Structure 1
Amino acid sequence: MISGGFTHFTDHLAERFKFDHAYANELEVRNGRLTGELVGDIVDAEAKARLLGLIAYIEGLPLEQIVAVSEVQRSPDRQSTACPDNFIAHR
């Protein structure tokens, strides 16, 4: 799973559904409180495309065998650069 959301939610989903890979934005917590900052790089459309390629490489799969699914309102064209022939956008 590659999400522009937050690890607080995606970690739970990844564990529940036993995903091998989960990437999302990590919110910074200091002294038990959210700071409003992120830890690490933002998982935006460009990062999603890079991460999709990384997962394919790690798993030894050509991009032609990868299917990316996205909400069309958020990033219809940027994610499709990772695997343009196997891109599904839904509303």
Structure 2
Amino acid sequence: MKSRVFKTAWQIASKFKTFAAALNHAWELIKLKKSMLSGVVKFTYKRIDDSIRPAVGTLKEIDTKYAFQGNARTKESMIYFDLEMGAFRSFKIY
């Protein structure tokens, strides 16, 4: 798990002022994903237009490999199933 956190932190480090800030953000992302894999999670993220979007999502018993269609499947985004919208969504991890 630590290697995944550091790998994510190095991936997003250029978006933060310090590596410590990137590392802290990476820990939050890993904890969010772990929580979504075990159940339903309420969280917020910033949209491209800088507005804040509240979301209720999960990854529990969801096969994102086959269910998600679109071009948002990159290393720079996190995919989740939005329970309010009833569809897959994604957001950038930085």
- State the TM-score bracket (shorter-chain normalisation): 0.3 to 0.5
Q: Please, what TM-score do these two structures have when normalized by structure 2?
A: 0.32
Q: Please, what TM-score do these two structures have when normalized by structure 1?
A: 0.33
Q: Over alpha carbons, which structure has the higher Rg?
A: 1
Bigger share in strand? 1
